[in-house]
Amino acid sequence: MSFKSVITSLPLLWVCVTALPAGPGNFPNNVSSPSSFGDIHATAYGLVDTYDSSNWLNMFDVQAISDPTHGYVNYVNAQQAQSQGLLNYQNNQVYMGVDSTSTLNPNGVGRNSVRIQSKKSYTHALVIADFAHIPGSNCGSWPAFWMVGPNWPNQGELDIIEGVNLNTYNQVTLHSSPGCVPSVGSGGMTGHPIGNADCGAAGGFTGCGVESNSAVSYGTAFNANGGGVYAALWTSSGIKVWYFASRDVPANIRSGSPDPNSWGTPQANYAGCDFDSKFNNMNIIFDITFCGDWAGAVWGSSSCASANPSCNAYVASQPQSFKDTYWLVNSVKVYSV
């Protein structure tokens, strides 16, 4: 998310391409997955941190910064976010949204939004995020739930939930310094690889992505399907990401005793990289930006362009379009690995 480029976006959303099939050994580099990367050994995952409505602003910093992805967005501070109703609590859930009432100058600072980063960073973790609602599939929008290290790309980036415009298929992506060329881990994956073979190619901007095969894994379709849970397991051996619709969330997640061995095939299953040297000290981030390096870059080749030839102009003039552009979070839990 933090430094996404158009190169990944075009094949993902708007251009028909032939993707390599999912399964062991079928990342873009065609490197077979190492036999040493087997199923995760039986492990008791200890709860390290819970982020929810009881402590959200104690655990996250609200970042009123310029958007690194050059979006048409104005990230506000914590006081502004709360006073404008962009960050609040509803029925023990955390709401984070955007201004959906103001008509703006397309050459101005952009639409008010919220970006937060966890005060704590992690090296290895099982991150389980439970969502009642994620930002809808709206022209111009680019939301993400992700993790990133402070010295990008040398300490890595893991995009867990990400998409743009009218997409309903989630994309998981790794960004790194050059030399992380993953294979598909043992047991395969349900998604299909896109982007570069090397997660650090082109300075890490493009990354190595995996697009979900589920049309309800992102945006409006995710919400219509009742929300759900994303779980990301990051170890020395690999990185895996699962999506579960709310009705399908494993009982061991609901009970607080997660067992990834029982969860079936993940959406993304990265193996075969020196993960410890490429990914460390990563913070958790939520944001919603508009247009910019991805949503804006693919605007002209998307159906959104029929509404307005300019992404910025559309976002500026259509505030009502973003009433559904918000996160509603039940909790984010981080377990030790």
Element (H, E) at 130: strand 125-133
Cα dihedral sign, 7-9-10-16: positive
Is 162 known to be catalytic? yes
Q: Under a CB-based contact definition with an 8 Å cutoff, are residues 211 and 192 in contact?
A: yes
Is 211 known to be catalytic? no
| Cα–Cα distance measured from residue 297 to residue 278, given in angstroms and rounded to the nearest whole number | 28
Count of Cβ atoms closer than 10 Å to residue 133 Cβ: 18
**Secondary structure class of 279 (helix, strand, coil):** coil
Catalytic residue, chosen from 162, 198, 287, 324, is 162
Beta strands 326-335; 93-97: pairing state: antiparallel
Give me 101's structure tokens.
Answer: 């009432």
Catalytic residue, chosen from 157, 159, 198, 211, is 157
Count of Cβ atoms closer than 10 Å to residue 287 Cβ: 26
| Cα–Cα distance measured from residue 7 to residue 286, given in angstroms and rounded to the nearest whole number | 23
Q: Which residues are catalytic?
A: 157, 162
